Amino acid sequence: MTDSHAYPLLQSIDSPLDLRRLSEDQLPQLTEELRAFLLETVSQSGGHFAAGLGTIELTVALHYVFDTPQDKVVWDVGHQAYPHKILTGRRDRISTIRRKDGLSAFPNRDECEFDCFGVGHSSTSISAALGMAIAAGLDHRNNHAVAIIGDGGLTGGMAFEALNHAGVLDANLLVILNDNEMSISPNVGALNNYLAKLLSGKLYTTVREGSRQLLRRHMPSVWELARRAEEHMKGMVIPGTLFEELGFNYIGPIDGHDIDTLVTTLRNLRELPGPRFLHVVTQKGKGYAPAEADPVAYHAVGKFDPTQDHLPKSKPGSPTYTEIFGQWLCDMAEQDPRLLGITPAMREGSGLVEFSKRFPDRYFDVGIAEQHAVTLAGGQACEGYKPVVAIYSTFLQRAYDQLIHDVALQNLPVLFAIDRAGLVGPDGPTHAGSFDLSYLRCIPNMLIMAPADENECRQMLYTGFRHDGPAAVRYPRGKGPGVAPVAEMAALPIGKAEIKRHGSTLALLAFGTMVEPALQAGEALDATVVNMRFVKPLDEALILEMARTHDVLVTVEENAIAGGAGAAVSEALSRHHCLIPVVHLGLSDVFLEHASREELLSESGLDAAGIEQSVRRYLEATAKLKPPVLARSKSK
Q: How far apart are the first and last CA of the chain?
A: 69
4 Cβ partners below 8 Å, 6+ apart?
Answer: 11
141 is catalytic: no
Residues 6+ away with beta carbon under 8 Å from 544: 572, 573, 576, 578, 635
Find the catalytic residue in 33, 370, 557, 599.
370
Question: Active site residue: 91, 98, 99, 284, which one?
Answer: 284
C-alpha distances in angstroms, 392 versus 16, 301, 367, 566? 36, 19, 14, 22
Query: How crowded is residue 295: how many other Cβ atoms within 10 Å of its Cβ?
Result: 19
Q: What burial letters (b/e) apply to 137-164, b meaning 16+ CB within 10 Å? A: beeeeebbbbbbbbbbbbbbebbeebbe
What pLDDT score does 59 carry? 96
Give the count of beta carbons closer than 10 Å to the beta carbon of residue 337: 11
Supply the pLDDT for residue 629: 43
Mean pLDDT by 10 residues, the chain (636 residues): 75 97 97 95 90 95 97 94 95 93 93 94 95 95 95 89 93 93 41 52 53 52 51 49 87 92 96 94 91 88 90 84 98 98 94 97 94 97 98 97 98 98 93 96 98 98 98 96 95 98 97 98 98 98 98 98 98 96 96 94 96 96 64 40
How far apart are alpha carbons 634 and 65 in whole angstroms?
A: 74
User: How many other CB atoms sit within 10 Å of the CB of residue 465?
Assistant: 24
Cβ neighbours, 10 Å, residue 5: 7
- 10 Å Cβ neighbour count for 256? 28
Is 536 tagged catalytic? no
41: exposed, middle or buried (Cβ count in 10 Å: 0-12, 13-18, 19+): buried
DSSP annotation of 45 = H
Q: Is the peptide bond before 537 cis (omega within 30 degrees of 0)?
A: yes
* 243 phi-psi bin (left φ>0, alpha ψ -120 to 50, beta other): alpha
Concatenated DSSP letters of 234-247: HHHH---HHHHHTT
pTM for this structure?
0.87
Q: What is the DSSP string of 385-435?
A: -EEEEEEEHHHHGGGHHHIIIIIITTT---EEEEES-B---TT-TTT-B-S
DSSP secondary structure letter of residue 533: -
Contact 461, 328 (CB under 8 A): yes
According to the model, what pLDDT value does residue 631 have?
43
CA quadruple 110, 111, 117, 123: dihedral positive or negative?
Answer: negative
Q: What is the pLDDT of residue 195?
A: 46
Q: What distance in Å separates the CA atoms of residue 261 and residue 28, rounded to the nearest whole number?
A: 12
Half-sphere CA count of 200, side-chain side, radius 13 A: 28
Q: Exactly one of 85, 398, 441, 477 is catalytic; name it.
A: 398
For residue 199, give every residue at least 6 positions away whose Cβ sits within 8 Å of its Cβ, in sequence order, or none: 238, 251
Give SS3 for 634.
coil
- Residues 124/158, Cβ–Cβ less than 8 Å: yes
Q: Is 87 left (phi over 0), alpha (psi -120 to 50) or beta?
A: alpha
Q: What is the pLDDT of residue 234?
A: 47
C-beta separation of 35 from 271 below 8 A: no
Q: What is the pLDDT of residue 42?
A: 93
In whole angstroms, what is the distance from residue 337 CA to residue 332 CA?
Answer: 9
Q: Report which of 366, 367, 358, 353 is spatially closest to residue 337, judged by C-alpha positions.
A: 358
Q: In the annotation, is 370 catalytic?
A: yes
Q: Max CA-CA distance within the chain?
A: 94
